[in-house]
Structure 1
Amino acid sequence: MTQVLKRSEVPKESVWRLEDLFPNQAAWNDEYAKVKKLIGDAAEFQGKLKDAATIARCFALEDEISLHTERLYVYANMHHHEDTAEPEFQALSEKSKKLSVEVGEALSFITPEILSLSEDALRGLIADSSLAKYKRTLEEMLRQKPHVLSKNEESLLAQVGNVSQAPGTIFNMMNNADMKFPKIKNDKGEEADLTHGSYIQFLESRNPEVRRNAFKAVYETYGKWKNTLASTLSANVTKNVFYAKARKYPSALEASLYGDNIPKSVYENLISTIHENLPLMHRYMALRKKLLKVEELHMYDLFTPLVEEFDMDITYDEAKKTVYDSLSPLGEDYRKALKEGFENHWIDVYENEGKRSGAYSWGAYGTHPYVLLNHKDNLNSMFTLTHEMGHALHSYYSDENNEYRDAQYTIFLAEVASTLNEALLMHYLLEKSTDPKEKMYLLTYYADQFRTTVFRQTMFAEFEKIIHEKAEQGEALTPQELSKIYYDLNVKYYGNEMVVDKDIEMEWARIPHFYNSFYVYKYATGFSAATSFAKQIIDEGAPAVDRYLGFLKSGGSDFSINILKKAGVDMSSPEPIRQAMSVFEGLIEQMEQMTASK
């Protein structure tokens, strides 16, 4: 589709069917009124959560309120995303957000009140058969109990909440609003604006001078603000250390992993296994240097395409067919659900005026999932389609097989199902490809995903671990110290084939994820787990598929590590990461052979 249509002009066959959630606005209004009434009913339980029967009734009401609120929120916001300028759904979105806050406040007494019971009383509730469907909720409360403080202390920490957001807020304002980069010359020799958005485009330039100038301009700009930026990052680390101590965790890292019950060893194991495999990264850098035909490989050469742009024109119908075919290893049950999604309006396909950008999978329990796309007829959009349908089918299987409370899987698991679909699509395309240029394009596309999602995110994770440990030992995080740590990591990760330019030492200053601490490792573990699953499915067939479908059906019914382990991917061992690395090595070997035969 070439021109951008108004929402009213988009053909009905390419839009999602939100009527499956609510047939009309009147039905939404009725459910909204129902929730408002139920909120009042919840107050009657306050101060009375002492016995199994009362707690069971309270949990049942909590589920009813939460589910209705989720449906209202999802419907209002998905309508809003169709055309963000449309005032009616702007208002409905705001109304649903306010309701969610109101519900959160109304139900906030439940957990602290149950946690105020003694440990013996809690164990008694866990063993009570009348609370069987809430066993996991109660077990989780018991697990969290040592880190929940007194009512007054919790109230004080809640009040500190707004202050604790300051480092991230200040960084975002500086980075997005105040930071201005100098103009630089583009490929045509014209003065052009250098912005966050255009930076990667400059780094993709065929002209090394353009790449170098963009790179230098960005990091010199950050360098001018290094004292302020070091202070904001240091303040964020101090905040994490404060919360960890206040809640009696051994370290900030362990505090952040506790919510998903991820052992510290998983984080450390990722770093050590990637260290073990750094020679592969160094080998890939040597290959990149050879393919780019450069005397020296610099940090600003990492985004330059290794092959001439290979134009793959793929319509949406072709993308659907290719995705469907590529997922045949997952069996007919999976593909039947996929087909249902394709044919029954789960997906909002094309861009239109005012539509939210990007892509996501979303939905509410009890109704099929939905997927928002802004499809273009290219390879990237086909990967986005299979990625989002991976999320959608994870939710579909999860909701079909679990009670409401146990259906929601964690972020730690979320990227596994989506990335597995991408891995199977890539395997299918590489197997099918006969054009050497196309094959090289696909291999470099995939190899760069390993570089950016596994190696780079692990390097970020290692940087976060080092700076938090230094802060916990009472060391100051000066700009010089941060830059030295960051520079040394780059030298280690990229190896001797790379000229590690001095300017890269300031890159820590522009990574927003460092304000959402200890999050990035999940990209690397998710990608590794998915690659491991894909390898098992391709190598073993049916037994591995059964284990994988078991994973999708588990939802959030157990801890993430246990769910993966049952399915044959043990993230507490180095094995899944090693399996992912063997796939990466296979890509490098194919690229080396193709390069040698030229």
Structure 2
Amino acid sequence: MVKSLPARSEVEIQETWNLDDLFKTEEAYNDALQELETDVTAFAERFKGNINDEQTIIDALDGYAAIMGKMIPIGTYTSLSLSVDQTNDEAQMRASNYGSIAAKLGSQLSFFTSELSDLPVEQLEKAMNRSDEYKNYLDELIRQKPHKLHPEVERTLAALSSVLNAPYGLYNTTKLVDMKFDDFEVDGEKFPLSYTSFEGGWESNPDTTKRRAAYDAFHAKLRQYQHTQAKTYDMHLQREKTTSDLRNYDTVFDSLLFNQEVDRSMYDRQIDLISTELAPHMRKYAKLLQKVHGLDEMTFSDLKVPLDPNYEPKITIEESKKYIDDALSIMGDDYIDMVNRSYEERWTDFAQNAGKSTGAFCSSPYGVHPYILISWTGSMEDVFVLAHELGHAGHFYNAHKHQNIFNSRPSLYFIEAPSTMNEMLVANHLLSNSEDPKFKRWVISSIVARTYYHNFVTHLLEAEYQRKVYDRIDAGGSVNANVLNTLKREVLEKFWGEDVKINEGAELTWMRQPHYYMGLYPYTYSAGLTISTQVSKRILSEGQPAVDEWLKVLQAGGTKSPAELAKMAGVDITTEQPLRETIAYIGELIDQLVELTEEIEGVKIG
């Protein structure tokens, strides 16, 4: 029986994260905010109109870095305290207040990059030669010069940032506060439903009747909000298009890929190759699920069902630590020390409660340890998800130690490589510990259903849909619920063909994903997993030398482009080969699942 989610005040404190490491009291938070406002005013008074030689550039960068160092924990505390309970009035008002203050501070600080950008390239290069610490920052500033606007325009845009970014907040409020799910009924018995219980339980429930009933009820509620959510998304898209045009980019794609340091060919290749070459493998996997579960037809609502639900162990939070420690021990003592600290010092919010953000994420504020959000259900999937988020944590734990505040964050294109690497290490560790066919099938099916289905299929289909949306926006169009539903259904039907029935409600999947408010993010999951798949193979075959190279990649942070970072780890992402090899590897895993199922069940599959 699935229970209704408790209020945040009712969950065990040991299952929550400890935000005291950011600010111990509300008074300390408010004092820090007031100090930040004072520092920004002093910085503007000292440097506005006075950045005119190499030493002043360096002095101003020192001051700007100090301000960023104070702003980051304040913004992190504000967002994290809201993310665990969007219904909390105090957290809502704090976030709204900080949004207004941050916009004002951004407007005050906008002169800094404007005045730096107006300086001759030669002068910026002289400053770079005098300070290795700021070389990457100034390099990037020079790269962005053609897209900078008049200082007054930049100041106005910064002042309006809380308004311009409002659609994402509205999306979350609609999704996590206003949207209330009714119980659904099966054979006269009622079951509670929520975003968290659907995505963390009902969507993969092995009972077909309950799973499909939960699916229908969940999407019936989404449908009631489709027009509001579509309008919210269209506002976000129009803001991106307007900004792209103002900054003289040819397309929205160019605007969003610019900061990723990735050209359009690398973006398109990731979507096109997977869409065509992975589809046959995943259709084979869908047929396997249908056969094993004796389904009358394979529908979209059945794709998350586990291959062998009877073999799925329940895992406590404490038990997950041993799995992860054992699997990630190859990364070295310092890395494992970070993992252990995450448990001991409550870096992770495991609780399930009403109003909490769905899914999982890792926030890695510079100067403070990372924070991880997850809603723990006790399945093996949770271990993979936690390992994934600890991959982000380990990445920035290393990068922050070796890079300054400007250099620690790499391109979005690379951001999912360290996270998916940890999933691969967990999978490889589990596979090396048993030759039992049922255990092997369970592990491989976990890799396929969690690591590859989620990162290569779910996010890939989001990426192809997103590309269609931006094509429409670039052509001067807009979107509404009917347009978005049609585009999403087309993508799903193309990928799954006749092997999976795209049943009513599947077209509303676009409503579930916050990544659409984060630029061209969805495709980067497959990009990162392509890199991590190849590096994990190197670690299996070469051992410590490959691990050492990978740790150097993590420590490099944002000092190199995605292609350069991948090359450091022995992967050439400027070619199709790593992606093709990864797709082939997924096909091999699915073939193994078919063979193991035939061995275990004693039946011919296919």
> TM-score normalised to the size of structure 1?
0.82
| 2:548 corresponding residue in structure 1 | 546
User: In angstroms, what is the RMSD of aligned CA positions?
Assistant: 4.4
Which position in structure 1 is the counterpart of 2:189? 190
Aligned to 1:399: 400
**1:133 CA displacement:** 2.0
- 1:146 alignment counterpart: 146
In 2, are the aligned partners of 1:387 and 1:419 still within 8 Å (CA)? yes
Hey, what's the Cα distance between the residues in 1 that align with 2:222 and 2:372? 37
Contact 1:351 1:373 in 2 (8 A): yes
Q: Which amino acid aligns with 1:261?
A: E
Distance 1:401 1:172, change over 3 A: closer
The match for 2:433 is 432
d(CA) in 1 for partners of 2:18, 2:211 = 45
1:491 maps to 493
Match of 1:414 in 2: 415
Higher mean C-alpha deviation, range 217-226 or range 16-25:
16-25
Range moving further from structure 2, 443-452 or 218-227: 218-227
SS of match in other structure, 2:415: helix
Q: Kindly provide the CA deviation profile for residues 543-590 of structure 1, in whole angstroms up to 9, marking residues without a partner as x.
A: 322321111110122233322232223333323323332332232122
Among candidates 528, 531, 552, match of residue 529 of structure 1: 531
Report SS of the residue matched to 1:327. Answer: helix
**Alpha-carbon distance between aligned partners in 2 of 1:98 and 1:164, rounded to the nearest angstrom:** 12
- Counterpart for residue 463 of structure 1: 465
Determine helix, strand or coil for the equivalent of 1:405: coil
1:595 corresponds to:
597
Q: Residues 157 and 545 of structure 1: is their aligned pair in 2 closer, same or farther, counting only changes over 3 Å?
A: same
> Quick one: which amino acid aligns to residue 283 of structure 1?
K
Q: Is the 8 A contact 1:69 1:99 kept in 2?
A: no
Over 3 Å counting, the alpha-carbon distance change for 1:191 and 1:333 in structure 2 is closer
1:268 matched residue in structure 2: 268
Would you say the 8 A contact 2:86–2:177 is kept in 1? no
Contact 2:54 2:124 in 1 (8 A): no
Aligned twin of 2:604? none
- Cα separation, partners in 2 of 1:77 and 1:257, compared to 1, 3 Å: closer
Q: What are the Cα deviations for residues 87-134 of structure 1, in whole angstroms up to 9, with x where unaligned? A: 9999999998888666545433211111122445444544xx323321
What is the rounded CA distance, in whole Å, between the counterparts of 1:19 and 1:169 in structure 2? Answer: 25
Pairing 1:247-286 to 2, within 5 Å after superposition: 247-274=247-274, 275-286=276-287
1:135-174 superposed Cα distances (whole Å, 9 cap, x missing partner): 2111111111111111343345456656645655665565
Residue in 1 that maps onto 2:51:
49
Identify which range, 84-93 or 437-446, moves more after superposition. Answer: 84-93
Residue 132 of structure 1: aligned partner: 132
1:290–1:538 distance in 2 versus 1, CA, 3 Å: same
Task: Report the CA distance shift for 1:326/1:191 in structure 2 as closer, same or farther (over 3 A).
Answer: closer
Contact 2:421 2:533 in 1 (8 A): yes
Q: Which string of whole-angstrom CA distances, capped at 9 and with x for unpartnered residues, describes residues 198-226 of structure 1?
A: 54444444454444444445556666776
Structure 1: segments with no counterpart, 5+ residues: none
Structure 1 residue 428: Cα displacement: 1.0
Gaps of 5+ in 2: 1-5, 602-606
Matched residue of 2:554: which SS? helix
Contact 2:270 2:579 (8 Å CA) reproduced:
yes
Amino acid at match of 2:65: D
Taking only the aligned residue pairs, the percentage that are identical comes to 27
Whether the 8 Å contact between 1:551 and 1:563 is mirrored in structure 2 is yes
Superposed CA deviations along residues 467-511 of structure 1, whole A, max 9, x for unmatched, are 222333345656555444332321221133222336534444554
Judged with a 3 Å threshold, the aligned counterparts in structure 2 of structure 1 residues 62 and 7 are, in CA distance, closer, same or farther, namely: farther
Q: Secondary structure at the match of 2:407?
A: helix
Q: 1:390 corresponds to which residue?
A: 391
Q: Per the alignment, in what secondary structure is the counterpart of residue 419 of structure 2?
A: helix
Distance in structure 2 (CA, Å) of the matches to 1:370 and 1:376: 19
> Any idea what SS the aligned residue of 1:497 has?
coil
- Cα 1:387–1:236, aligned 2, differ >3 Å: closer, same or farther? closer
Alignment partners' CA distance in 1, 2:504 and 2:362: 40
Structure 1 residues 397 and 351: alpha-carbon distance in aligned structure 2, compared to 1, 3 A threshold: same
What amino acid does structure 2 have at the position aligned with 1:431?
Answer: S
SS of residue in 2 equivalent to 1:565: helix
1:555 alignment counterpart: 557
Give, in whole Å, the separation in 1 of the partners of 2:475 and 2:240. 14
Is the CA contact (8 Å cut-off) linking 1:6 and 1:352 kept in structure 2? no
Aligned-partner Cα distance in 1 for 2:481–2:393: 43
Conserved 8 A contact 1:219-1:503:
yes
2:580 matched to which residue of 1? 578
State the match for 1:290 in structure 2.
291
Instruction: Assess, with a 3 A threshold, how the Cα gap between structure 1 residues 347 and 198 changes in structure 2: closer, same or farther.
Output: closer
Corresponding residue for residue 109 of structure 1? 111
Alignment of 1:469-488 (within 5 A): 469-474=471-476, 477=479, 481-488=483-490
Q: Secondary structure at the match of 1:49?
A: coil
Question: In structure 2, do the counterparts of structure 1 residues 61 and 552 end up closer, same or farther at CA, with 3 Å as the change threshold?
Answer: same
Amino acid in structure 2 at the alignment position of 1:189: G
Determine the C-alpha separation between the residues in 1 that align with 2:96 and 2:476. Answer: 44
Answer yes or no: is the 8 Å Cα contact 1:464–1:517 preserved in 2: no
Residues 206 and 309, structure 2, Cα contact 8 Å, conserved in 1: no
Q: Residues 178 and 270 of structure 1: is their aligned pair in 2 closer, same or farther, counting only changes over 3 Å?
A: same
Secondary structure of 2:188's counterpart equals coil
* Greater CA drift, 72-81 or 213-222: 72-81
SS at match of 1:53: helix
For normalisation by structure 2, the TM-score amounts to 0.81
SS at match of 1:185: strand
Matched residues in 2 for 1:175 and 1:90: separation? 15
Partner Cα separation in structure 2 for residue 84 and residue 196 of structure 1: 13
Q: 1:77 & 1:222 partners in 2: Cα distance? A: 25
The alignment of Structure 1 onto Structure 2 pairs a total of residues equal to: 590
Q: Could you tell me whether the CA contact under 8 Å between 1:282 and 1:496 is conserved in 2?
A: no
Q: How far apart, in 2, do the equivalents of 1:162 and 1:269 lie?
A: 35
Q: Could you tell me how far 1:389 is from its partner in structure 2?
A: 3.1
Matched, 1:321 2:286: no
Does the 8 Å CA contact 1:265/1:572 hold for their aligned counterparts? no
| One-letter amino acid of the structure 2 residue matched with residue 440 of structure 1 | R
Q: Deviations over 1:256-304 (max 9, x none)?
A: 1112222212210101220222211121122122122223211121123
